[in-house]
Amino acid sequence: MKSRKNYRIFLICWLIIAVLMFVFYFYYLINKNIPQIIYLTKGEKYRLNIEMPVSADINSEDIEASYNIAPKAANNIEIKTYGSKFSGEDIVVSGENVGTGRINLKLFGIFALTDVEVRVTEKLDVYPGGQPIGIYLDTDGIMIIGSGEIILSDGSKAEPAYGIVNAGDYILAVNGDSISSKEELTQYIAQSEGREVVLTLRRKESIINVKVKPLRCNDGCYRTGIWVRDNTQGIGTLTFVLEDSRFAALGHGISDVDTSQLIEVDKGALYDACIFEIIKGENGKPGSLVGSIDYSEKTFEGYILANTNEGVFGSIKDVSAFIKDKKTLPVGYSQNVNKGKAYIVCCIDGYMKKFEIDIEKIDFNSKSNKNMVIRVVDNELLNTTGGIIQGMSGSPIIQDGKMIGAVTHVMVNDPSRGYGIFIEKMLESCE
């Protein structure tokens, strides 16, 4: 009798586990195949790609709430859903007004799976880029990249800033006086004549003051052993320009080579770049575009206002001259991206061209700038560059006549493959 009771408990436990596994499986499929954010142009209909018995409810009371059953309307936006997989019909989402709403997806109309934000916008076209650009950034404060030993006047060694400053800190002021360059910092340290100085630092989200005592070195100068950087520069690819002069480039942020931290920008500039050599990529050895940047007024193209994980953003100086003879492309949002044939636009041999790629994998809900896995299949590009190389970051990705994103990274062990970012992520950072 007892064994029969234990057997029933065993079966019930396994039944519960099976049901949970069933629900989690569908939850996994939903998150893999449905974006957490769907972008629609006004009046557009989107068919949810769900091959399972799922129904959709509209949340109208609080668009931040999840899994609430609510009437078929939403804050600031009219969203319509047609049918459900539970009733054997496809689910179609339609945004009638510009705004934001939220739909809740339920398995069998009972089990809450996930909620999807719907953002309805006006139709948007962009001018595609593809040309190489020179980037110059001034850091917002003087970036500390590390500290080290110095040789003192008596021949001994010391590290005055050890344990006081961290790599990635930004120096904002010395003894209460604001500074913005390495030269100013060096001057203040030299004038200290060994007296303790107070450095005002920005450390992540906090502003702190620390004290450092400069020491006299064997060349007679006073130093703290702090290594700093106040600017950086490089070559990348322009992604797109909007009619109001805003631009986006790179598809990823510019990080410091020593600390690997995203550089905080005070101001920056965009220049024309001249490519004079292509180093072909090989397995385990990324290639690169080698070029020069003329930092003069005649090659100045625009102002850089932000450096984010999604790219570099700013405004073009003369947008009418830039977009001359260029044609716009409509934006293609992530839910319209498909595996298969697409193109990238980049500049090799002095000319901008379209090269065929294959989109191998799509990650709708990745939080990073690696939303697509792409493979270069164009023989001309493979023979010239080996695939994706440094400097091509930001190259526009086009599919079905729409601008869907940009190249961001190369796979080091296979330069024919790399990653791309969805265009809506760059548009959000461009605002």
In a domain, 192, yes or no: yes
Boundary (domain end) residue, out of 192, 224, 256: 224
Q: Has residue 35 been placed in a domain?
A: yes
pLDDT tens, 25-68?
666 666 666 788 888 888 787 777 666 666 666 553 332 222 22
The answer to whether position 300 is within a domain reads yes
Shared-domain flag, residues 160 and 96: no
219 exposure class (CB count in 10 Å sphere: 0-12, 13-18, 19+): exposed
**Percent of the chain at pLDDT exceeding 70:** 84
Return the pLDDT at 22: 66
Q: CA 79, 85, 86, 92: dihedral to nearest 10 degrees?
A: 10
Residues 372, 389, single domain; the answer is yes
Contact 382, 430 (CB under 8 A): no
Model pLDDT for residues 332-378, shown as the tens digit of each residue: 999 889 999 999 999 887 788 999 999 999 988 888 899 999 999 99
Mean pLDDT of the chain: 84
- Domain residues for 68? 17-123
373 inside domain: yes
Same domain, 396 and 407: yes
pLDDT at 382: 94
Tell me which residues are annotated as active site.
252, 378, 393
Q: What span, in angstroms and rounded, lies between the C-alpha atoms of 177 and 292?
A: 36
Length of the chain: 431
How confident is the model over 151-161, as pLDDT tens digits?
998 889 999 99
Q: What CATH number has the domain bearing residue 26?
A: 2.60.40
| DSSP 8-state code for residue 255 | B
Q: What is the pLDDT of residues 241-266, one digit of tens each?
A: 998 999 999 999 998 877 888 999 98
- Taking 80 as the threshold, does the pLDDT of residue 125 lie above it? yes
Among the residue ranges 78-92, 336-350, 374-388, the one predicted with the least confidence is: 78-92
Same domain (yes/no): 162, 260:
no
Q: Among 204, 224, 244, where does a domain finish? A: 224
Question: In sequence order, what DSSP letters do the residues of 210-248 get, joined into one string?
Answer: EEE--EEBTTS-EE--EEEEEEEEEEEEEEEE-TTSEEE
**Using one digit for the tens of pLDDT, what is the confidence trace for 184-233?**
999 999 898 889 999 999 998 899 999 999 999 988 889 999 999 988 88
Same domain, 256 and 400: yes
Give Cα 212 distance to the centre of its chain: 37
For 89-96, what is the mean pLDDT?
Answer: 70
Mapping DSSP to helix (H, G, I), strand (E, B) and coil, where does residue 379 land?
Answer: helix
* Confidence tier at 75 by pLDDT (50, 70, 90): very low
> 133, exposed or middle or buried, with CB in 10 Å at 0-12, 13-18, 19+?
buried
Other C-beta atoms lying within 10 Å of the C-beta of residue 298: 7
What pLDDT does residue 66 have?
27
Residue type, 35: P
What CATH number should be reported for the domain holding residue 426? 2.40.10.10
- From the list 341, 348, 340, 339, the residue with the least C-alpha distance to 389 is 348
pLDDT surpasses 80 at 397 = yes
Decide: 33 and 49 in contact? Cβ < 8 Å: yes
Query: How far apart (Å, rounded) are the C-alpha atoms in residues 328 and 82?
Result: 33
Q: Kindly give the pairing relationship between strand 351-362 and strand 414-422.
A: unpaired
Does one domain contain both 421 and 320?
yes
Binned at pLDDT 50, 70 and 90, residue 311 comes out as: very high
Which has more confidence, 222 or 92?
222
Q: What is the CATH number of the domain that holds 206?
A: 2.30.42.10
